[in-house]
Amino acid sequence: MSDDRSQILNMLKEGKISVSEAEELLDAIGKSSDDSGVVKKGASPPSSRKNPKYLHIKVEEAGKNGGKGENVNIRVPIQLLRAGVKLASVIPDKAKSKVDTALKDKGLNISFDDLEGDKLNELVESLAELSIDIDSEDEKVTIFCE
């Protein structure tokens, strides 16, 4: 946790500031921080980095009659992906083999056991290069890492 963030939270804990004031301050820190990872509307996806922190999924739907369509903006920490793979190590072997078989049936020759250590790092690093843009008349889907 950054010093500023912990200071604000301490001030809130001590009752020096209200919840709404703390929220505003935390927002301000988030906006000023360079690596906050927040996607600003209209901003183009950032250039690829060696170690991405977040996976962004954005769906922008064109609104009917010029109105605002449905927008979806999801930001998933890459660390969650790593944690998920580590959690996979506690999956029972029977269930693991079923998942592996299902993946193979779908044409994905990947095993949970393979996704550890260097291979996982390699996968995460290669995600930095990931950028998917699907542009149609009705909607625009963007998936990228930053």
Binding site for other proteins (CB under 8 A): 1, 5, 9, 12-13, 19-20, 22-23, 26, 30, 37, 53-54, 61, 63, 67-77, 79-80, 82-84, 86-87, 89-90, 92
User: Which CB atom, from 37 or from 45, has the smaller least distance to other proteins?
Assistant: 37
In whole angstroms, the minimum distance from the beta carbon of 101 to other proteins comes to 21
**What separation in angstroms does the CA of 13 have from each of 4, 8, 24, 33, 99?**
14, 9, 16, 23, 46
Query: By the 8 A CB rule, do 26 and 115 touch?
Result: no
In whole angstroms, the minimum distance from the beta carbon of 111 to other proteins comes to 18
Q: Is 92 exposed, middle or buried (0-12, 13-18, 19+ CB in 10 A)?
A: exposed
User: Which CB atom, from 90 or from 106, has the smaller least distance to other proteins?
Assistant: 90
User: Which CB atom, from 20 or from 109, has the smaller least distance to other proteins?
Assistant: 20
In whole angstroms, the minimum distance from the beta carbon of 12 to other proteins comes to 7
Query: By the 8 A CB rule, do 57 and 71 touch?
Result: no
User: Which CB atom, from 69 or from 108, has the smaller least distance to other proteins?
Assistant: 69
Tally Cβ neighbours within 10 Å of residue 33: 13
- Which DSSP helix (H) or strand (E) runs through 66? none
Question: Which two three-digit tokens encode residue 118?
Answer: 């260097």
In whole angstroms, the minimum distance from the beta carbon of 6 to other proteins comes to 9
